[in-house]
């Protein structure tokens, strides 16, 4: 997953940022190639939200995952695809950078489907 606003260290700029999803970890909610809008401010993250985060153990990796529960001052995050384990099960706690609010390409729509996992 990469921020559309440029290469390098993962940074989300402004109140809304465009992010391109890569990989299958969020199927069926999001697919490889989906472009989403991420709100970097606003209401606090809640369990079940789809978020953009950075793992503390992998600060160079920006990921789109589902927030499961707050943990150690960050969030435990998981992908919706249980067959892919590149989430907190492998990398630990993540720091949320923003909340995904909409998919704008290629299938416009709100990103919903709250599936908190405990």
| Nearest C-alpha neighbor of 102 from the set 6, 42, 15, 30 | 30
**Interacting residues of 59 by C-beta distance below 8 A, sequence separation 6+:** none
Terminal CA-CA length for the chain: 24
Phi, psi of 90 (to 5 degrees): -100, -35
Render pLDDT for 5-53 as a digit per residue (tens, 0 to 9).
Answer: 444 446 787 799 999 999 999 999 999 999 999 999 888 999 999 999 9
Render pLDDT for 100-110 as a digit per residue (tens, 0 to 9).
Answer: 999 998 878 77
pTM of the model: 0.84
Extract the tokens encoding 17.
Answer: 């940022």
Residue 2 or residue 13, greater confidence = 13
> Which domains, from first to last, does the chain contain?
2-110 (2.10.109.10)
């Amino acid at each position: 997953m990469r921020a559309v606003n440029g290469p390098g260290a993962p940074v989300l700029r402004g109140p809304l940022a465009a992010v391109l999803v890569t990989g299958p970890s969020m199927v069926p909610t999001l697919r490889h190639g989906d472009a989403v809008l991420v709100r970097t401010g606003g209401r606090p993250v809640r369990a079940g939200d789809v978020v953009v985060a950075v793992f503390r153990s992998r600060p160079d990796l920006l990921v789109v995952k589902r927030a499961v529960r707050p943990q150690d001052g960050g969030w435990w995050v998981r992908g919706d695809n249980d067959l892919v384990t590149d989430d907190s099960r492998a990398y630990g706690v993540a720091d949320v950078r923003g909340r995904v609010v909409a998919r704008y390409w290629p299938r416009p729509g709100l990103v919903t489907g709250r599936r908190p996992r405990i």
